[in-house]
Structure 1
């Protein structure tokens, strides 16, 4: 369900730089004023109002009180006092956040500002009229917030044409990446491959000539279907030209060219060019070991994977000569290197209808959009929480109340996902610096990878409404999808065609057809309003 579009975070800063609802009787769209009175001068007076704000409890070892630390003290000093308010943070276990939110919403006890990464959950709350609509509040008290997020990001928080949540702005959009052993290429006198045919020849050379002189060379490391070691960019390069509606609504299994993509992967498997036991590697543990032991020539994973300590530290120890570089090899018939990237939105913040402080809640989120506020919440004090190197903040690990419990304090900066220094280049450099930890070569690897892996990127289509068939059949289809990929890749070549057709029919009969038909219906309804 994709829409073609050209679009351009433990360590303190590491990864920044991926039910019925009750109400209080208010009508949808009605705004709520803070209980604090306002003096003629506009300064709040009277008893302070308590604004409750959700915060994830990630169970970080040694973490301070999530409601009383350097960051919450800053919030109450800089926002609370001027607004005659006390900002109280309500911890919710990260691993149970959806279940906990359902319980809190049903009991009318959810924090004034609640959040979740589950967009479908927000839509359900809105559909059952459990959320404030925020258009008027944003207009009156959220101009700075609106300006920072922009219309595109805000559009992901709309339901039935109304703003029901505030999506966080995702500052880095790259997702998948591909990496190849440049040192192996150099030994063989081969160029960096730029298309599928060149990659195939390179994989054959890796298999036959074993430039690393390793026991059990693996030309292309793969693992069972999952987030890492995926085939996504390859498969997309086989897809033929489609209308926007066909591209967005059609299940991948029926997209023209998809069958040929898996047939090519089947060929690679049968020619021993990809991990022989990939289907048994459900956690990527084996693929990780193969990479870090210096056995692998090429692999696809998260765009920052070779820069992470999980990979680079053992790789440096086991194969110090190894030099992975990002590569773009999957070019389609139109000469583009299609790859999926993240949508511009991150976490969804919303105000439950049970809240009596909706106006104050929007003021709080609007205050957070101040660049000075956002910088402090993300990076803290210079010399204490970070040091500046060429204008880029490098994190200084902390304990006690100075400690950040999430990357870049993302649980306290819900309007942004990722480092925010004003432009993408600085954001990437900040992330790269955190990954590199002083190693300039890894900084360059990160910046090069980000650039490559946002080229010709597309993000998923924003329907704005849930696909009820997908809610019903999604789990079943997801499990089937993984099994289908594994079976098709390891099948005997002569049996591939019949097996593909058989499995796709079973998939469509198990709910795939219903999901696709609802996609078409929803797509046409959304685009008709545009």
Structure 2
């Protein structure tokens, strides 16, 4: 399974051991022995037969006022335009977004995963494939997925291969920005302070937020975050501390051992102990507390997905609770070379796959193929003209909806898993229409989204793709990913006097638990690749 990100700048990074996120993108093991079991085909069905039931995963993001995720305007459209012509009923299975990996592991183990399941965790898909838990899809795509293959193209589809077999369908990512940093411009204006452009300036700003409380709120939080692995992050702070490395060192060294990494977490630890970071962030494993703090107007600065402040989930309650609040994107973590190094996405998005327990593999591929029809994709992303959007210079301008017709995720990404981001066939148009969809007609938020995308693709890098399986990563990836999250939280909240010893202890445990094995194999694979290119 190709889960690494191709190089898009002079800088390379291995996200295999990126602190705070799931470790690795390994791949190896036995290929699946089947393509589709005979009972998976529904081709022989006639209109008089009982309709087949196709189950499809959908994220439950806990959006305020959301309708039934299995019975709404969008699911009715799917069943009318795909279900009826195929003598099928499409049933959606909600999975909490914050628990999707754990939930999927349970469903797969029980043989109860939806016919079409998905996850952003490529390592998880690799493990399922290695254990022969997924259909290989090559023959099904050839027979029933030509439209889908044309839309995604070989480059994107390659990310879903394992042992040269197609075991998942990666979504096509049309927008590459990932994390962003946001600050209360109205608070800065009250304090007469400029936008911070480096760590020292940000520190001074956070102290001013804490001591002067420019919003006059009860329980001001200079920097809001949540438990590691949730939507709230530390942005590109850690990368700004990294020192000089050779390409090989940068690619193969786990982040915990990169020069400067320890100093980055020590700086965060200092901020936490000075009460500049959410006091109970490590307990906030669903982001509900962080969301509440932001939308209640208590927060001066935070890092999250590049589009998070513009989402309906944050924008609407914030306007209700704190009408004067004005967040703007900011680039504040500059490294010693004057770069604002930040990781960006690769060209693939979420991984959809069909578990071996499915009885409807053929129907599942037909469903994904149907979704690749330009008219279908456009409707699912943008809805009805005059209801969900208007057209301006060919760019859909979103109109916010509530109730049954509302979208539970931006551009209905959870109902359009073959694409991540707006799809109008052109990057500039995609950014513009995505910004318009986020803002739902609010020009201020539309402009903020455009600015945030620009900032958060500047000085972007992507991870090195090894091209072959890392057996150690498959073996230890889940353990290392869980350890990453725990290490981040423990280090940030530690007593300052205990930080150095704790960092060394946790990193040793991490390396002993498989980090060293993954690193050694990465070095071996990297050198083999370089030897072939000489």
Please tell me the TM-score bracket, short chain as reference.
0.7 to 0.9
How far 1:292 moved relative to its partner? 3.7
Aligned partners of 2:8 and 2:461 also within 8 Å = yes
Counterpart residue number, 1:171 = 174
Within-5 A mapping of 1:273-284: 273-284=276-287
How far 1:197 moved relative to its partner? 2.4
Within-5 A mapping of 1:252-263: 252-263=255-266
The structure with the largest alpha-carbon Rg is 1
Q: Which moved more, 1:407-416 or 1:59-68?
A: 59-68
1:394 maps to 2:395: no
User: Alignment RMSD, CA only?
Assistant: 4.5
How far 1:211 moved relative to its partner? 3.6
Residues 426-451 of structure 1: CA deviation (Å, up to 9, x unaligned): 33333333432332211212221122
How far 1:199 moved relative to its partner? 1.9
Task: Flag the 1:35–1:183 CA change in 2: closer, same or farther, 3 A.
Answer: closer
Give me the whole-angstrom Cα distance separating, in 2, the residues matched to 1:48 and 1:349: 28
Aligned partners of 2:36 and 2:140 also within 8 Å = no
Counterpart residue number, 2:99 = none
Give me the whole-angstrom Cα distance separating, in 2, the residues matched to 1:134 and 1:527: 32
1:422 maps to 2:430: no
How far 1:156 moved relative to its partner? 0.7
Give me the whole-angstrom Cα distance separating, in 2, the residues matched to 1:110 and 1:337: 41
Counterpart residue number, 1:6 = 8
Secondary structure of 1:69's aligned partner? helix
Residues 74-99 of structure 1: CA deviation (Å, up to 9, x unaligned): 1257xx4xxxx545536545365554
Counterpart residue number, 2:57 = 56
Within-5 A mapping of 1:17-416: 53-56=54-57, 61=68, 63-64=70-71, 69-75=76-82, 80=85, 86-87=87-88, 89=90, 91-92=92-93, 94=95, 96-101=103-108, 103-104=110-111, 111=115, 117-124=120-127, 126-127=129-130, 144-214=147-217, 216-350=219-353, 365-383=368-386, 386-389=389-392, 391-395=395-399, 397=401, 408-410=411-413, 413-416=416-419
Aligned partners of 1:176 and 1:453 also within 8 Å = yes
- Aligned pair count reads 499
In structure 2, runs of 5+ residues without a counterpart are 10-28, 61-66, 97-102
Secondary structure of 2:202's aligned partner? helix
Give me the whole-angstrom Cα distance separating, in 2, the residues matched to 1:63 and 1:145: 24
Task: Flag the 1:354–1:295 CA change in 2: closer, same or farther, 3 A.
Answer: closer
Give me the whole-angstrom Cα distance separating, in 2, the residues matched to 1:350 and 1:286: 33
Secondary structure of 2:346's aligned partner? coil
Task: Flag the 1:300–1:468 CA change in 2: closer, same or farther, 3 A.
Answer: same
Task: Flag the 1:410–1:484 CA change in 2: closer, same or farther, 3 A.
Answer: closer
Secondary structure of 1:241's aligned partner? coil
Q: Which moved more, 1:197-206 or 1:485-494?
A: 485-494
Give me the whole-angstrom Cα distance separating, in 1, the residues matched to 2:374 and 2:286: 40
Task: Flag the 1:466–1:66 CA change in 2: closer, same or farther, 3 A.
Answer: farther
Q: TM-score, normalised by structure 1?
A: 0.76
User: What is the aligned counterpart of 1:509 among 503, 512, 516?
Assistant: 512
Give me the whole-angstrom Cα distance separating, in 2, the residues matched to 1:319 and 1:90: 39
Q: Which moved more, 1:308-317 or 1:157-166?
A: 308-317
Give me the whole-angstrom Cα distance separating, in 2, the residues matched to 1:65 and 1:178: 34
Secondary structure of 2:195's aligned partner? coil
Q: Which moved more, 1:506-515 or 1:517-526?
A: 517-526
Aligned partners of 1:67 and 1:89 also within 8 Å = no
Aligned partners of 1:337 and 1:455 also within 8 Å = yes
How far 1:330 moved relative to its partner? 0.8
Secondary structure of 2:204's aligned partner? helix
In structure 1, runs of 5+ residues without a counterpart are 8-19, 38-44
Secondary structure of 1:6's aligned partner? coil
Q: Which moved more, 1:495-504 or 1:474-483?
A: 474-483
How far 1:157 moved relative to its partner? 0.9
Counterpart residue number, 1:41 = none
Counterpart residue number, 1:456 = 459
Aligned partners of 2:82 and 2:370 also within 8 Å = no
Aligned partners of 2:411 and 2:437 also within 8 Å = no
1:439 maps to 2:442: yes
Q: TM-score, normalised by structure 2?
A: 0.75
How far 1:279 moved relative to its partner? 4.1
Aligned partners of 1:385 and 1:398 also within 8 Å = no
Q: Which moved more, 1:476-485 or 1:235-244?
A: 476-485
Give me the whole-angstrom Cα distance separating, in 2, the residues matched to 1:354 and 1:448: 45
Q: Which moved more, 1:118-127 or 1:166-175?
A: 118-127
